A = this chain, B = another copy of it.
Amino acid sequence: MFSKACEYGIKAAIFIAVNSSENKRVSPKEISEEIDSPQAFTAKILQALVRHQVVKSIRGAYGGFEIEKDKIATIKLAQIVYAIDGDNIYKGCGLGLHTCNENHPCPVHDKFKVVREELREMLENTSLEQLALDIKSGVSFLKI
């Protein structure tokens, strides 16, 4: 469904959100340990999230990654997925036709678009804040 990079990106963003809500910056090392991902690869993905302004990086001593507290509630999963995997998952044809087009539909178009639309809404309506809360309260988990 999502690429590994995207899975790591989502989990990393949640972990950063959890920590930022407690005024703590985190390093790629901490992040990759907490989400069980390869460190250098995770760092690359974090760079992408920085470029797309999902997370903020502070270089140098006492630096790390953070998300401004008042942004945590506004950042949606969709932004993260878009930053890493692009928009093919929302817009692309399920059978790989060049474009998903009502006027030139593939055989599964009508049925597929319903599922894809539901996925899109889910991603657009789910904020980092909601996900971070469940991690904080121990209801959900980032690894294993």
Contact = CB atoms under 8 A, between A and B. Distances in A.
Interface stretch (A23-31, A39-47, A96-104): A96-104
B1 A107 contact: no
Nearest to A99: B144
Interface string A85-110: 00001001011111000001111110
Query: In the complex this chain forms, how many copies of it are found?
Result: 2
B144 A104 contact: yes
Interface residues of A, number: 40
Interface in A112-128: 112, 114-116, 118-119, 122, 126
A131 interface: yes
A119 B89 CA distance: 14
Interface of A: 1-2, 4, 7, 10-11, 14, 77, 89, 92, 94-98, 104-109, 111-112, 114-116, 118-119, 122, 126, 131-132, 134-135, 139-144
Given A1-B116, A106-B140, 14 more contacts: A1-B94, A2-B96, A11-B95, A14-B107, A77-B108, A97-B141, A97-B144, A107-B131, A107-B141, A108-B131, A109-B140, A112-B122, A115-B118, A115-B122
A129 to B, nearest CB: 11
